[in-house]
């Protein structure tokens, strides 16, 4: 282990991580057991490149996010792009024939550094490389991949992960149409990255400053297309609402969009408005996490707001909250399923009004509310359930809207083939304003949905673990002996997606169907050390649905306890 650590130290171009690693090596060699264990953790494995790209804690070593790992990833991706274009490793590329790669970055620690390194390495590999002009939301990068006809795109972000994380998200153009990578591309890119790591010192990788900076007109085009999602109706006049960027990069772009679309300027959460990679006011910059929106609620109470809109730090997710006298603090955050069903209803209605139902579809991840299928059926649209992640949702045929319950929404597929918290916010502002114009509230919209499509209720149980092997142990136990009941309700069928079910690619997912029509889905998180369980029921009324979901949650927790969760 010490030999590997010294070899890494010799090629690390970052003074901060070099000093960190040098101190760790010296402590470990001096007999410090904690330092030795830390060194083992950093060098016993490599941060895996998969369908989520790279994501992990900042620090020295192959099992952390750092400049060495990012340089290897960039060189591996460059080799993959060249290979797919039929360009050999030693072939010269004429400038007019060079595939394009576009690079974006957010406001997290080292995001701009990782983006700069990537741009230099892509350009050094002979690729036409376009770096976005400044830190921008992830959806702008996804838009740029399509707009520039790029072969690939990279967004340096860890989205809503803890402050000391960063990541490397990869998109592909061409037949992939600007969507995130899926198999087998992930494994092919990973193999190229491994070859770079095995064969080349980072300092020997070709670099060039011959990359371009994207024109501001590219950002302007995204803004115009997104403002057109839902121009402000008359009901927007006088709307009092609050916005938080969660210390991320959403506000600058979103502010221009709402002005162009004609919405009133929000009351911002000023302490969270500007990008800050330290995330000083939140311990976990995810709108789903308890406490993350407390400052937004405080601002809403002070201003008498009717609505709260929040983006996560890279602005690809949307959270919405509404006044609720029965909730602590007087505000209630809508669930991802509630937002998704409302936005799906809007999309289906618009498709029907435009006569575009034939061949059009709604899509959501298999862990999201089955209520979206009820909407699709009502309007005569196709419906697709996919594996978790927008890399799958975005590929649904005929897509007009897609969502996943983790606050991700795709409302404008002709512009961005990925979740987009900014365009989703515009769509939500439009829907709220239209209702407001006829004297209806968001609560009224939710009640109208129940009356039209049925009373669906969802819940989620997340178990965060220190040792990820705990998750594998629980999944193995559930597979070894399928549960016969959840609470007082018998299990009718168990689908194990590792075995291939309903045309899904194999995945580490268990789906339990109960005799009363309820559903429980169990899967490991793809980005965090969590086991996630998704619960769904359909009731005869809102009260019945709420009663059923409460009972199902209690039964699920008891089941987990039996299996060591």
Task: Check which CATH number belongs to the domain holding 542 and give it.
Answer: 3.30.310.50
Which tokens go with 11? Answer: 């090629």
**Is the same domain home to 279 and 333?**
yes
Q: How far apart are CA 400 and CA 356, in angstroms?
A: 9
- Evaluate whether 457 touches 260 at the Cβ level (below 8 Å): no
Mean pLDDT across 249-257: 98
Say if CB 334 and CB 304 are below 8 A apart.
no
| 291 vs 244: CA distance, rounded Å | 13
Question: Beta strand 128-131 with 212-213: parallel, antiparallel or unpaired?
Answer: parallel
Same domain, 267 and 368: yes
Domain range for 69: 48-214
- φ and ψ of 49, to 5 deg: -95, 120
Taking alpha carbons only, the member of 539, 540, 502, 544 closest to residue 521 is: 502
Please, are residues 115 and 169 in contact by the beta-carbon 8 Å criterion? no
CA distance 490 to 484: 6
Residue 357 DSSP one-character state: -
% of residues, the chain, pLDDT over 90 = 87
Predicted local confidence at residue 469, as pLDDT: 85
Same domain membership, residue 263 and residue 120: no
Which of 161, 186, 394 minimizes the C-alpha distance to 286? 161
How confident is residue 419, by pLDDT bands cut at 50, 70 and 90?
very high
Give the containing element (helix H, strand E) for 88.
none
- My answer on whether 548 and 410 are in the same domain is no
Check residue 134 and give its pLDDT: 96
d(CA 303, CA 244): 14
pLDDT (average), residues 23-45: 92
Q: What is the CATH number of the domain that holds 142?
A: 3.40.120.10
**Is the preceding omega at residue 310 within 30 degrees of 0, hence cis?**
no
Residue given tokens 């649904």 in the structure block:
396
Checking if the pLDDT of 564 tops 70, the result is: no
Say yes or no: 473 and 424 in one domain.
no
Mean pLDDT, residues 104-114 taken together: 98
Distances (CA, A) of 518 to 375, 436, 496: 18, 34, 17
Q: Give the whole-angstrom CA distance, residue 165 versus residue 142.
A: 21
Given a cut of 90, is residue 224 above it in pLDDT?
Answer: yes
Share of the chain above pLDDT 70, in %: 99
**Would the pLDDT of 490 be above 70?**
yes
Q: How do beta strands 267-268 and 307-311 pair? A: unpaired
Q: Residue 563: is its pLDDT beyond 80?
A: no
- The SS3 call for residue 433 is helix
Least confident of 273-277, 389-393, 465-469, 507-511: 465-469
Single residue among 451, 475, 496 that ends a domain in this structure? 451
**Do 189 and 262 have their domain in common?**
no
Q: Is 283's pLDDT higher than 90?
A: no
Instruction: Looking at 107-204, list the stretches that DSSP marks H as alpha helix, in order from N- to C-terminal side.
Output: 111-124, 138-147, 185-199
The pLDDT mean for the chain works out to 95
| Cα separations in angstroms, 481 against 141, 514, 562 | 45, 16, 12
Q: What angle do CA 170, 273, 240 make, to 5 degrees?
A: 115
pLDDT given at position 468: 82
- Joined together, the tokens standing for residue 332 give 């209630």
Per-residue pLDDT of 183-198, as tens digits, reads 899 999 999 999 999 9
Q: Please say which residue of 179, 214, 249 terminates a domain.
A: 214
Tokens of 408: 């991700």
Q: Answer yes or no: do 315 and 430 share one domain.
A: yes
DSSP state at residue 274: S
Q: What is the pLDDT of residues 97-108, one digit of tens each?
A: 999 999 999 999
Q: Are residues 361 and 323 both part of a single domain?
A: yes
End position of a domain, from candidates 214, 240, 263: 214
CA distance 9 to 5: 6
Q: Domain check: are 265 and 358 in the same one?
A: yes
Task: Evaluate if residue 2 carries a pLDDT over 90.
Answer: no
Q: Looking at the structure, do residues 238 and 384 belong to the same domain, yes or no?
A: yes
The predicted pLDDT at position 506 comes to 85
Q: Chain-centre distance of CA 435, in angstroms?
A: 29
Tens digits of residue pLDDT in 138-190: 999 999 999 999 999 999 999 999 999 999 999 999 999 999 999 899 999 99
- Among 111, 159, 179, 368, the active-site one is 159
CA distance 35 to 24: 6
What stretch of H or E contains 141?
helix 138-147
Contact by Cβ (8 Å): 42, 78 = no
Distances (CA, A) of 342 to 234, 417, 424: 20, 20, 11
Per-residue confidence (pLDDT) for residue 561, from 0 to 100: 82
CA 465 distance to own-chain centroid:
21
- Catalytic, 159? Answer yes
Tell me the pLDDT tens digit for each residue of 347-371.
999 999 999 889 999 999 999 999 9
Number of domains in the chain: 4
Non-local CB neighbours of 319 within 8 Å, separated by 6+ positions: 287, 288, 293, 308, 309, 310, 311, 312, 333, 334, 339, 407
Tell me what pLDDT residue 317 has: 97
For residue 527, pLDDT over 80 is answered with no
Confidence of residue 377 (pLDDT cuts 50, 70, 90): very high
Is 427 found in the same domain as 493?
no
Question: Which of 153, 159, 172 is CA-nearest to residue 421?
Answer: 159
Asked if residue 114 has pLDDT above 90, the reply is yes
Q: Hey, which bits of 312-360 come out as E strands?
A: 318-323, 331-333
425 and 464, same domain (yes or no): no
């Amino acid at each position: 282990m010490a030999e590997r650590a010294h070899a890494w130290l010799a090629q690390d171009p970052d003074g901060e991580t070099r000093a960190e690693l040098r101190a760790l090596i010296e402590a470990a060699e001096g007999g410090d057991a904690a330092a030795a264990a830390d060194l083992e953790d950093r060098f016993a494995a490599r941060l895996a490149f998969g369908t989520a790209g790279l994501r992990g804690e900042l620090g020295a070593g192959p099992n952390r996010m750092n400049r060495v790992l990012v340089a290897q990833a960039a060189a591996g991706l460059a080799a993959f792009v060249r290979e797919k274009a039929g360009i050999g490793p030693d072939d010269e590329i004429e400038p007019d024939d060079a595939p394009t790669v576009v690079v974006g970055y957010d406001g997290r620690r080292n995001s701009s550094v990782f983006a700069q390194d990537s741009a230099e390495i892509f350009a050094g590999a002979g690729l036409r490389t376009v770096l976005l002009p400044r830190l921008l939301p992830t959806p702008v990068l996804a838009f740029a991949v399509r707009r520039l006809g790029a072969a690939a795109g990279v967004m340096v972000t860890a989205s809503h992960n803890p402050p000391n994380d960063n990541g490397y998200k990869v998109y592909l153009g061409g037949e992939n149409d600007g969507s995130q990578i899926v198999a087998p591309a992930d494994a092919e890119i990973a193999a190229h990255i491994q070859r770079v790591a095995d064969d080349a010192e980072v300092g020997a990788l070709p670099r060039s400053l011959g990359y371009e900076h994207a024109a501001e007109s590219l950002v302007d085009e995204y803004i115009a297309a997104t403002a057109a999602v839902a121009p402000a109706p008359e009901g927007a006049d006088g709307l009092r609402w609050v916005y938080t960027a969660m210390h991320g990069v959403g506000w600058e772009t979103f502010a221009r969009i709402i002005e162009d679309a004609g919405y009133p300027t929000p009351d911002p959460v000023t302490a969270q408005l500007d990008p800050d990679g330290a995330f000083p006011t939140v311990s976990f910059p995810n709108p789903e996490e308890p406490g993350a929106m407390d400052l937004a609620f405080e601002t809403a109470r002070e201003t008498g707001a009717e609505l709260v809109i929040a983006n996560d730090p890279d602005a690809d997710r949307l959270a919405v909250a509404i006044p609720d006298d029965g909730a602590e603090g007087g505000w209630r955050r809508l669930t991802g399923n509630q937002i998704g069903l409302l936005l799906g209803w809007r999309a289906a209605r618009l498709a029907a009004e435009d006569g575009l139902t034939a061949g059009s579809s709604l899509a959501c991840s298999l862990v999201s509310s089955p209520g979206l299928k009820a909407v699709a059926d009502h309007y005569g649209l196709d419906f697709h359930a996919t594996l978790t992640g927008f890399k799958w949702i975005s590929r649904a045929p005929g897509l007009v809207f897609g969502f996943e319950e983790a606050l991700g929404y795709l409302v404008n597929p002709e512009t961005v083939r990925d979740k987009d918290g900014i365009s989703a916010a515009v769509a939500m502002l439009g829907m709220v304003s239209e209702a407001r114009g006829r004297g209806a509230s968001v609560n009224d919209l939710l009640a109208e949905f129940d009356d039209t499509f049925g009373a669906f209720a969802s819940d989620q149980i997340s178990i965060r673990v220190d040792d990820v092997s705990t998750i594998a142990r629980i999944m193995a136990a559930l597979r070894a002996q399928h549960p016969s009941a959840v609470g007082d309700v018998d299990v009718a069928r168990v689908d194990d997606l590792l075995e291939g079910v309903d045309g899904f690619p194999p995945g580490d997912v268990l789906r339990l169907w109960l005799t009363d029509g309820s559903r429980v889905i169990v899967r490991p998180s793809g980005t965090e050390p969590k086991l996630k369980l998704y619960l769904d029921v359909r009731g005869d009324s809102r009260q019945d649905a709420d009663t059923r979901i409460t009972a199902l949650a209690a039964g699920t927790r008891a089941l987990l306890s039996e299996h060591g969760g």
